């Protein structure tokens, strides 16, 4: 159910943003709001509690979006979420919008998990290889996982490229069995 709600609201925002093609700005503004929203349990409780009057919620929201300098489209979108009691789904909606915006901008999101921090040269080489592989612009999300022992694992959509030591050992074990 939450997935359908998130997709519906994300598509609506994407359609509004399509008029100006300012997907990047909207993503940045939603990300800034998400940071504020995630940081404060009181804020989340206030937006999600049915006992808090709608006018009070909107006043708090207006203060936040004004301080963040959010565009009219994003401000109005957040107001719609508050008015329709959808703030509990905000993070799912933001992620769904990110996927839609990336698709419309021709960007492939890649999650990279490595055992150690990658230097700039390694990141650039990886970006060049994935641009060649996908034929699109790439955007990385980097994570550290010391359990990998060495190497890295990259996920593009549902495809996982496992170049980790743990993955190599696992494949070797399967070959021997």
- From the list 76, 39, 41, 49, the residue with the least C-alpha distance to 61 is 76
Q: Quick one: pLDDT at residue 60?
A: 94
Using CB atoms within 10 A of its CB, is residue 19 exposed (0-12), middle (13-18) or buried (19+)?
exposed
Q: Quick one: pLDDT at residue 118?
A: 86
Instruction: Tell if the pTM clears 0.85, that is, is over it.
Output: no
Q: Quick one: pLDDT at residue 1?
A: 54
- Helix 2-18 crosses helix 90-105 at what angle (to 10 degrees)? 50
Which positions ≥6 away from 153 have C-beta within 8 Å? 112, 113, 114, 145, 160, 161, 162, 163, 164, 167
Which positions ≥6 away from 177 have C-beta within 8 Å? none
- From the list 136, 135, 134, 140, the residue with the least C-alpha distance to 107 is 136
Element of type H or E holding 103: helix 90-105
Q: Quick one: pLDDT at residue 89?
A: 92
- pLDDT truncated to tens, each residue of the chain (177 aa)? 577 888 999 999 999 998 888 999 999 999 999 999 999 999 999 998 889 999 999 999 999 999 999 999 999 999 999 999 999 999 999 999 999 999 898 888 889 888 888 889 988 988 898 888 888 888 888 888 887 777 888 888 788 888 777 777 777 778 887
Q: Quick one: pLDDT at residue 167?
A: 75
Pick the CATH number of 2-103 from 1.10.520.20, 3.30.413.10, 1.20.120.80, 3.20.20.140: 1.10.520.20
């Amino acid at each position: 159910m939450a997935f359908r709600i998130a997709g519906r609201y994300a598509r609506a925002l994407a359609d509004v943003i399509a008029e100006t093609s300012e997907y990047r700005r909207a993503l940045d503004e939603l990300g800034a709001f998400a940071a504020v929203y995630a940081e404060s349990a009181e804020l989340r409780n206030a937006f999600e509690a049915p006992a808090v009057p709608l006018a009070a919620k909107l006043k708090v929201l207006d203060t936040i979006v004004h301080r963040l300098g959010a565009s009219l489209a994003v401000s109005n979108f957040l107001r719609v979420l508050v008015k329709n009691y959808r703030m509990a789904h905000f993070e799912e909606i933001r992620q769904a919008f990110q996927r839609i915006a990336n698709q419309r901008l021709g960007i492939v999101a890649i999650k990279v998990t490595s055992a150690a921090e990658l230097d700039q040269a390694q990141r650039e080489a990886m970006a060049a290889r994935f641009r060649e592989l996908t034929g699109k612009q790439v955007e990385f999300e980097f994570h550290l996982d010391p359990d990998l022992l060495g190497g890295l694992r990259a996920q593009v959509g549902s495809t996982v490229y496992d170049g980790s030591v743990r993955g190599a050992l696992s494949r070797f074990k399967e070959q021997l069995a």
